[in-house]
Amino acid sequence: MKIIIDVNVILSALIKDSMERKILIYSGLDFYFPKSSLDKINKYRDYVLKKSKLSLKEYDLLLTTLLGYVNLLDDDEILKKWNEARKIFGHIDPEDMIFIAAALSIGAAIWSDDNDFDRQDEIRVFKTKEFQELF
């Protein structure tokens, strides 16, 4: 099963040795993330550093490690499904439409604890708790 991960999953995995981190590293699932959304992760770098008490070097190493378990998707594939994603999710959260478009582009589910994704019914959405029960 292909799974698009939301920014909040990666941020949780960076902040502490969380269930998100364990699932990313040990589950063996096929994870994907929009390459252009790496900017959103970097936007929260200072917040993560403060919460996690990681040094910048440790943060960079951990992020690199986590992304080693994730396939990065190029925008050209995602953009092919942009209009469809807009119809499904544009009225809910335009900022997160990229994750809907990414899921549509590769036939994937989404992993996110953001309740906005529950307000659509086109893409299957998993919560961390559901993965935790599986593993």
Measured CA to CA, the distance from residue 123 to residue 59 in angstroms comes to 32
The residue with tokens 């993560």 is 48
Measured CA to CA, the distance from residue 107 to residue 125 in angstroms comes to 12
| Secondary structure percentages of the chain, helix, strand, coil, to 5 | 60, 15, 25
For residue 133, what pLDDT is reported?
82
Per-residue pLDDT of the chain (135 residues; tens, 9 = 90+): 999 999 999 999 999 999 999 999 999 999 999 999 999 999 999 999 999 999 999 999 999 999 999 999 999 999 999 999 999 998 899 889 999 999 999 999 999 999 999 999 999 999 999 988 877
Number of domains observed in the structure of the chain: 1
Q: Which domain holds residue 65?
A: 2-134
Cβ neighbours, 10 Å, residue 122 = 12
**How many Cα atoms are found within 13 Å in the side-chain-facing hemisphere of 107?**
1
CATH of the domain at 103: 3.40.50.1010
